[in-house]
Amino acid sequence: MNNDKNKTNQSPYFVTAIGIFALSFPAFSQVPVDAAEDDDGEIEEVVVTGRFISSSQQLVNERITDAFATDLLGADTIARLGDSTVGAALRRVPGLTLVADKYIYIRGLGERYSTSSLGGAQIPSPDLTRNVIPLDVFPTSIVESLRVQKSWSPDLPANFGGGAVDIRTKGIPDGFTLSFEAGSGLNSEASGTGLTYPGGGDDQWGTDDGSRALSGNLLAAIDTYQGQIGVQSLLSSLQAEDPSATLADAQALNRSMALELNRTAVPQDKSLPADVAVRGSIGNNWFINDDWEFGAIAGASYQTDWRKTTAYARNFIYPDERTDIEEETTEAITMAGTVGLGLKFTEDHEIETTTLWLRNTDDETAVTDLFNENREKSDGLGWRSYRFQFEEREMFTNQIRGSHFLGDATRDRLPDFVNSLIAWAPTSSEITWFWSDSEARTDIPNQLEVASQTTTDPETGAVLNEAVTLSSQSADFRFTDLDDEVQNYGWAATLPFETSRSIIELKGGWQHARKARTYQQTQFSLGALNVGDIGTLQMPLDEVFSDSVILDPANNFVFDRQGTNNESYIAATMTDAVFGMVDWTMDDTWRIAAGARWEDYRQAAVNWNPFGYSEADPQITTDPVVLEEGTFSKDEIYPAAAITYMSELWADDFQLRFAWSETAVRPDLREITGSSYIDPITGDLTRGNPGVVPSGVTNFDIRGEWFFGNGDNLTITFFKKDIDKPIEFFESPASDTTIAREILNANEATVEGVEVEFLKELSFLGGPFDTLFVQGNLTLQDSELVCDANATGFACEADAPTNPTRALSGASDYVANFMVGFDSPDAKHTASIMYNVFGERLYVAGRNGAPDGYEQPFQSLDLTYFWYPTDTMTLKLKAQNVLGETIRIQREGITVFEEDPGMTFAISFNLSL
Confidence of residue 682 (pLDDT cuts 50, 70, 90): low
* Among 468, 451, 449, CA closest to 538: 468
pTM of the predicted model as reported, rounded to 2 decimal places: 0.87
* Among 719, 808, 654, CA closest to 95: 719
How many residues make up the chain in this entry?
913
Judge whether residue 71 has pLDDT over 90: no
Confidence of residue 32 (pLDDT cuts 50, 70, 90): very low
Judge whether residue 39 has pLDDT over 50: no
* Angle subtended at Cα 77 by Cα 73 and Cα 79, rounded to the nearest 5 degrees: 120
Confidence of residue 349 (pLDDT cuts 50, 70, 90): very high
pLDDT at 44: 37
E strand segments, 188-322: 193-196, 268-271, 275-287, 292-314
Query: Where is average pLDDT lowest: 236-240, 499-503, 728-732, 749-753?
Result: 728-732
pLDDT in tens, 625-648: 888 888 889 999 999 999 999 999
pLDDT at 621: 86
Count of CA atoms in the C-beta half-sphere (13 A) of 845: 26
**What contacts 490, CB < 8 A, 6 or more positions away?**
433, 434, 509, 510, 511, 512, 577
* Among 501, 559, 555, CA closest to 531: 555
Confidence of residue 52 (pLDDT cuts 50, 70, 90): low
pLDDT at 33: 34
Judge whether residue 824 has pLDDT over 50: yes
CA-based radius of gyration for the chain: 30
Mean pLDDT of 648-672: 90
456: alpha, beta or left, given left = phi > 0 and alpha = psi -120 to 50?
A: beta
Is residue 308 classed as helix, strand or coil in its secondary structure? strand
Judge whether residue 138 has pLDDT over 80: yes
Judge whether residue 38 has pLDDT over 70: no
Measure the CA dihedral 21/27/33/38, to 10°.
110
CB 54 within 8 A of CB 68: no
* Among 585, 583, 621, 590, CA closest to 604: 621
pLDDT at 59: 67
* Among 613, 513, 627, CA closest to 570: 627
pLDDT in tens, 284-319: 999 999 999 999 999 999 999 999 999 999 998 999
pLDDT at 358: 93
Label residue 564 exposed, middle or buried (CB < 10 Å: 0-12, 13-18, 19+): exposed
E strand segments, 3-42: 35-37
CB 386 within 8 A of CB 541: yes
* Among 887, 795, 904, CA closest to 841: 887
* Among 270, 375, 379, 389, CA closest to 324: 375
> What span, in angstroms and rounded, lies between the C-alpha atoms of 336 and 331?
17
Confidence of residue 277 (pLDDT cuts 50, 70, 90): very high
pLDDT at 26: 31
* Among 665, 698, 814, CA closest to 151: 698
Judge whether residue 479 has pLDDT over 80: yes
Mean pLDDT of 127-142: 77
Question: Biggest alpha carbon distance in the chain?
Answer: 105
Query: Where is average pLDDT lowest: 39-53, 147-161, 458-472, 569-583?
Result: 39-53
Label residue 220 exposed, middle or buried (CB < 10 Å: 0-12, 13-18, 19+): exposed
Judge whether residue 6 has pLDDT over 50: no
pLDDT at 308: 95
Confidence of residue 5 (pLDDT cuts 50, 70, 90): very low
pLDDT at 307: 95
pLDDT in tens, 81-94: 778 788 888 887 88
Mean pLDDT of the chain: 87
Residue 770 or 590, more confident? 590
Measure the CA dihedral 661/664/665/666, to 10°.
-160
CB 54 within 8 A of CB 48: yes
Is residue 123 classed as helix, strand or coil in its secondary structure? coil
pLDDT at 362: 94
pLDDT in tens, 535-574: 999 999 999 999 999 999 999 999 999 876 667 889 899 9
Residue 794 or 477, more confident? 477
CB 781 within 8 A of CB 15: no
SS3 content of the chain, % helix, strand, coil (to 5): 15, 50, 35
pLDDT in tens, 581-627: 999 999 999 999 999 999 999 998 888 888 888 887 888 888 888 88
DSSP string, 466-533: EEE-SSTTSEEEEEEEEEEEEEEEEEEEEEEEE-SSEEEEEEEEEEEEEEEEEEEEEEEEEEES--S-
